[in-house]
Chain A
Amino acid sequence: MQWNEIKTSLYDLDYIASEELAMSIHIAINLERPLLLEGEAGIGKTALALALSKLYKTSLIRLQCYEGLDASSTIYEWNYQKQLLSIRLNENKNDNNEKIDDQIFSKEFLLERPLLKALTQKKSPVLLIDEIDRADEEFEAYLLEILSEYQVSIPEYGTIKALSKPIVIITSNNTRDLSDALRRRCIYNYVYYPKKELELEILQKKLPNIDSELSRQIVNFVQNLRVQDIEKKPGIAETLDWAAAISGLGLKDLSDNYKVLHSTLVCLLKTEADKAVISPEIAQKLAKI
């Protein structure tokens, strides 16, 4: 599949990728490298993983990162309770110890966590490691073996190699600088806020019921809003929410009813300070541009 084919097939799945992004996906998949996506929140980094899993008709395994994440909750863990029970059950049988050892350190007693699960699928799954910047730096080190060799070493069991190499998407909101070792192993793409035409295309694709003139106004408004001096700039997800709200309230034109317009801005402005900056008058002005 060439990169433009990826672009068009993603388009059919309601995901509209820029050319740069499509090329990065293409390269990452063909070189079997993880794809590291950075960019502001709400511009479709996570949605891309969902779309890719649909495109390749495979499962999506998601790992949401948070501070304090460790190997036992991401890679594997032995099922200790079950192991204990099994030892007790076998106590009276005269099996030799090695046999019991083999038994309790077998696959049956291994709890697969997302990363190991991604390696043991028959068909390459899409592995989404979401918001990796929230996890500790130590966690990045765990990832290195898995991402470069696609294998996991378990001391008691041996090395598990990937049956099929997963398509790995790593996203980061840039709240912490990632280590060079991780960056070096990845194909990189920085996802910008979409340009006007692209955002309009996305809006029309996702919400086809909205009148084209109204969607043009909506996109214009959001694009202008992003230029303003606000703390939290709205992403595409917010634009879609807002558009749905506007059309749900039956507005045919943004300039129809400024009161309603201003009250719907809760979909776009997510902090108290931003609400104060975008007063009804400014909202009116933005709608007219």
Chain B
Amino acid sequence: MLKPTKFLVRSSIKTRLLDFTHHMYANGFNTTFDQVFQSLRSLKHINLSDLNDWKSALRSIYCYNFQTYENFDELFDSFWRNEGRKKTNLERQKNDLNKNKINKNTKSILSPIEGQTLTNEATNDTLNDNNDADISNETKSRITASYIENNRKTDLKELINSDLQKRMHAAVLRIAKSIKHKRSRRLLAKKKGEKLDLRKIVSKSLAYEGYPLKLYKKSKPKKPMKIVTILDISGSMKIYSQIFLTFVKGLVGINQSTEVYLFHTRLMRVTDYLKENDTLKAVNRISMLTEGFSGGTKIGKSLKEFNNVYSRNFVNGKTVVMIISDGYDTGSSKIVAEELEKLKKRNCKIVWLNPLLGWENYAPVASSMKAASKYLDLFAPCNTLEHLENLEKELIEI
């Protein structure tokens, strides 16, 4: 059982709650002043001497979705149960050490904190937090720096010159535009609509003693479409994947609701990383993330992961799922077909862009590709920029 925090500075519950709110904010929660206010109001209704009561009350108030609900425990313990904080922090640092195999320099940065947290009981809690944040930022930047050095040989600058980037941007704009809207079945009021809106005509006719002098119309509104891109970055796609990343990055720039996933033998959601302003930076960050992974391809397994974890929240009738892959698969092709069928049941449009299709005499012989073709709304080549530019027409039709 973790012990409650011994706050060194005597402060009121209000200040502590404010501190806690800052702590939650620093850890990625969207917090508002209202939550502090609600927590203070809730004090009346709970047994404050029981930390568990306090925890579940704060959990109800501070959480707002599944992810935050899951993370809450640890963050709560780290603030209100000081002993816990030190332990989890230490564990995390050790894990980091093992995972990233940080070189000796970074280790020497980390080791003083271990000593500090173990011996230095007398530091103020918030002060300690700041320290940790600063130092971890520093270590992060060091790790990043060393990665960049490793990556210099495979720099993207040669691949993405400014001319290419401009043309790419234009192509992306047009493609994004062509899948922007979907016609809806529901009718909404519109000045130059196709059908008469009887309900409105009757209600507005009241002003003219029941004579329908003005005719109101309605029509089907256009609904915005969302794009979900699933990009293959396996070995066989290596020469294309960086160009496609730029393409996808362009899509995210135009439509912020675009979702991006990368896969090789497993799937990874990278939407948030792509929201970086600088294209080169964003693509670099991603290639860093995926470094060392361009090996085999498991399309089926990755699609399965997508279906199980993400498709519920991100795929519906208003979504175009764009898969960019050459279809060469080391996994079973049966799974690909099964998963595509499942995905199709979510009523989305599936577009498969295949760089190999642009080659002469290519027929989709890769077994995965064969299995998949049944479920595709569009199967198009994309090995040159021209192909991408021409996609617009075909996308309008689906």
Contact = CB atoms under 8 A, between A and B. Distances in A.
A87 B210 CA distance: 9
Given A87-B210, A175-B312, A231-B342, A33 B38 contact: yes
Interface stretch (B14-22, B42-50, B78-86, B119-127): B42-50
B203 A80 contact: yes
A176 B313 contact: yes
A64 to B, nearest CB: 17
Contact of A27 (B47, B61, B64, B199): B61
Interface in A8-22: 19-20
B63 interface: yes
Contacts of A31: 38, 41-42, 45
A189 B60 contact: yes
Interface stretch (A180-188, A217-225, A237-245, A258-266): A180-188
A177 B257 CA distance: 12
B316 A176 contact: yes
B210 A183 contact: no
Given A84-B206, A176-B316, A184 B32 contact: yes
B30 A177 contact: no
Interface stretch (B51-59, B143-151, B237-245, B350-358): B51-59
Interface string A269-283: 000010000000000
Interface in A53-109: 67-68, 78, 80-81, 83-84, 87-88, 91, 104
B280 interface: no
Contact of B69 (A81, A188, A273): A188
A175 B63 CA distance: 19
A168 to B, nearest CB: 14
A30 interface: yes
B268 interface: no
Contacts of A157: none
A188 B63 contact: yes
A67 B57 CA distance: 33
B209 interface: yes
A7 to B, nearest CB: 12
B186 interface: yes
State the main secondary structure of chain A at its contact with B. Answer: helix
A30 B30 CA distance: 23
Nearest to A23: B56
Nearest to B257: A177
Contacts of B342: 231
B61 A67 contact: no
Contacts of A78: 203
A174 interface: yes
B61 A187 contact: yes
B195 to A, nearest CB: 15
Given A27-B45, A38-B66, A180-B30, A174 B313 contact: yes
Interface in B65-87: 65-66, 69-70
A26 interface: yes
A247 interface: no
Contacts of B44: 30
A31 B60 CA distance: 11
Nearest to B31: A184
Contacts of B70: 190
Q: Chain A CB within 10 Å — which of B59, B64, B202, B210 has the most?
A: B64
Contacts of A87: 206, 209-210
Contacts of A176: 313, 316
B44 to A, nearest CB: 8
Contacts of A28: 60
Contacts of A186: 64
Interface string A143-184: 000000000000000000000000000000011110010011
A175 B41 contact: no
A2 interface: yes
A34 B64 CA distance: 12
Nearest to A22: B56
B218 to A, nearest CB: 12
Contacts of B63: 188, 190
Interface in B284-315: 312-313
Interface in B184-208: 186, 199, 202-203, 205-206
Interface of B: 30, 32, 34, 38, 41-42, 44-47, 52-53, 56-57, 59-61, 63-66, 69-70, 186, 199, 202-203, 205-206, 209-210, 312-313, 316, 338, 342
Interface of A: 2-3, 19-20, 23-24, 26-28, 30-31, 33, 38, 67-68, 78, 80-81, 83-84, 87-88, 91, 104, 174-177, 180, 183-184, 186-190, 231, 273
Given A31-B45, A175-B313, 14 more contacts: A3-B46, A24-B56, A68-B186, A80-B199, A83-B206, A84-B205, A88-B210, A91-B209, A180-B30, A183-B64, A183-B65, A186-B64, A188-B69, A190-B66
17 contacts: A20-B59, A23-B46, A23-B60, A24-B56, A24-B59, A27-B42, A27-B45, A27-B60, A30-B45, A31-B38, A31-B45, A38-B66, A68-B186, A80-B199, A84-B210, A88-B210, A177-B313
